[in-house]
Amino acid sequence: MLNNNEKAILTKHNVIHIIGTGGIGVSRLASFFLQKGKRVSGSDVEKNEIVESLEKQGLAFSLGHAAENIPADCDLVIYTLAVKEDNPERAAATSRNIRLLTHFEAIGELSADMYTIAIAGTNGKSTTTAMLGAILEDAGFDPTVFLGSKFSRWGGNLRIGKSDIFVVEADELYRQFLSLSPDILVITNIEREHLDYYKDLHDIITAFEALAKKLPDTGWLVYNTDDDGSADLGQRINFEHKFSFGKKGKYIILKNQSIAGGKRQFTFHYDKHDYEGEMSIPGEYNLYNALGAISAAHLARADFDAILKSLATFKGIWRRFEMIGEWGPRKTKIISDYAHHPTALHRLKKTLREAYPKQRIALVFQPHQVERTKLLQQEFIDTLSEKQLDLTIITDIFQVTGREHSSQEVSGKDIFIEVGKRNPAIEYISKPEKSINKIKELISQYDVAVFAGAGDIYKIPIEIMKESVK
């Protein structure tokens, strides 16, 4: 069944080719179009589990990029921003006058015709988007949700609903979220990030400001007053409908929180009433993600009782403090996490110690992208030097295809050397995929081992756990 508000893009195109299909973001579109009955082909430089899932849905996949990968009757080509203009498929589409869109331009066309709730911020976007989507689903709103991670409840990174509500994770990199047309905009936090593109924090805030200015007069700007960046944005924007949350919030006011039985219990005040909630996922940062989701769900007219009931059942998403299993004679808990920014790492370490106060904890961290690592080098050193955990293993940097243009020079070993001057409980492993036995030897002495980073470090715990099922 087609939602009438989706017809604008869906009636224009029937044969769609997607360049870079294996990416977590663009794959949402591939799955969406496949489930809407379109003929979809795609290509990428490698075949991963995302591509394999799409093939099961009907994707015609080509390994590598070549002009002939584009079907003869193709009427739309979508590409990720990592795909440059000289890519043979982009070039072929241009020469054949086939319509070309970036993946966020395509999402923006959906957004323009639907009631859009956009979740933006440096950290927490994926979790907040999944929380909000699940709340609206449980409350009977039947939303379509585009997620930048995977959610086991939906079997991936996409939920297709029949209502006109569109919940989308809004990516700030390259200002691509400016393709969206939000009716509600949630800002989780704003920090120095993507400094290979943005000049500084001010430049980042101006991008979020530009997105906020796209809100209609009837729209709502939702922001976190306890985060300096988003609070600054809230003060900058001269807009009638501003809805803030946090301890300093004007509407959703966080009053207290506590941990009991492994769950976080909290109370917030709104409109002369106090409301009590509970969460099973750890971390104070996730409480702030929840407050953003609660605010947006309320503005979408969901009942607070339904919101809090749904939130209490939320179990988390892929690579966000994800429990992979237990391994080895010590039954070491193996956790996978996406943290790749110094602030996210700090919050992860704090949460680990909060969740496992008496256990021995090892962190395996893979830095992500050379220029990010160089520009935030001192912040990474400071964060990794904190001694909450019992062992830190640093790997070499995961280099991101299409984004490594800088002359900056830094390595994982450079970080290791500097951290080692302040925290001797540290090891360096250059290529973790070739040193799994060494990693297993190290973590076998610990009760908890967490593998963090936005690159391919998540594959290591999967390999380690294979031993447990033999």
Structure letter (DSSP) for residue 398: B
| For residue 351, pLDDT beyond 80 | yes
- Cβ-based neighbour number of residue 364 at 10 Å: 24
Q: What's the pLDDT at 208?
A: 97
112: amino acid identity, one letter: A
Q: What's the pLDDT at 109?
A: 93
Q: Per DSSP, what are the bridge partners of residue 276? A: 267
| For residue 400, pLDDT beyond 80 | no
Average pLDDT over residues 181-209: 94
Q: What's the pLDDT at 273?
A: 96
Q: What's the pLDDT at 3?
A: 47
Give which of 125, 113, 451 is closest to 288, Cα–Cα: 125
Task: Give the pairing type, strands 322-327 and 273-279.
Answer: unpaired
CA-to-CA distance for 366 and 458, rounded, in angstroms?
A: 10
Mean pLDDT, the chain, integer: 93
What pLDDT, in 10s, does the model give residues 438-452? 999 999 999 999 999
Q: How far is CA 73 from CA 14, 82, 365, 470, in A?
A: 9, 25, 46, 48
Looking at 3-7, 121-125, 240-244, 427-431, which range is the least confident one? 3-7
What pLDDT, in 10s, does the model give residues 251-283? 999 999 999 888 999 999 999 999 999 999 999
| For residue 200, pLDDT beyond 60 | yes
- Cβ-based neighbour number of residue 351 at 10 Å: 21
Give which of 453, 464, 403, 393 is closest to 425, Cα–Cα: 393
Q: What's the pLDDT at 11?
A: 80
The interaxial angle of helices 284-299 and 125-138, nearest 10 deg, is 50
Average pLDDT over residues 49-76: 96
Q: What's the pLDDT at 1?
A: 35
**pTM summary value:** 0.91
Q: What's the pLDDT at 468?
A: 58
Decide if 61 contacts 89 (C-beta within 8 A): no
Q: What's the pLDDT at 407?
A: 58
Q: What's the pLDDT at 195?
A: 84
* Domains assigned to the chain: 4-103 (3.40.50.720), 114-311 (3.40.1190.10), 322-469 (3.90.190.20)
Q: What's the pLDDT at 8?
A: 66
pLDDT bracket for residue 466 (50, 70, 90): confident
Q: What's the pLDDT at 321?
A: 95
Cα-Cα-Cα-Cα dihedral of 346, 352, 354, 360, to 10°? -120
CA-to-CA distance for 442 and 445, rounded, in angstroms?
A: 6
What pLDDT, in 10s, does the model give residues 6-32? 456 778 899 999 999 999 999 999 999
| For residue 408, pLDDT beyond 70 | no
Q: What's the pLDDT at 371?
A: 87
Sheet holding 273-279, edge to edge: 156-159, 144-151, 165-169, 115-120, 184-187, 220-224, 242-246, 252-260, 263-270, 273-279
Q: What's the pLDDT at 10?
A: 76
CA-to-CA distance for 334 and 341, rounded, in angstroms?
A: 21
Q: What's the pLDDT at 402?
A: 63
pLDDT above 90: percentage of residues in the chain: 88
| For residue 328, pLDDT beyond 90 | yes
| For residue 430, pLDDT beyond 60 | yes
pLDDT above 70: percentage of residues in the chain: 96
CA-to-CA distance for 77 and 238, rounded, in angstroms?
A: 38
Instruction: Give the pair of three-digit tokens for residue 6.
Output: 């989706």
335: Cα separation from own chain's centroid: 17
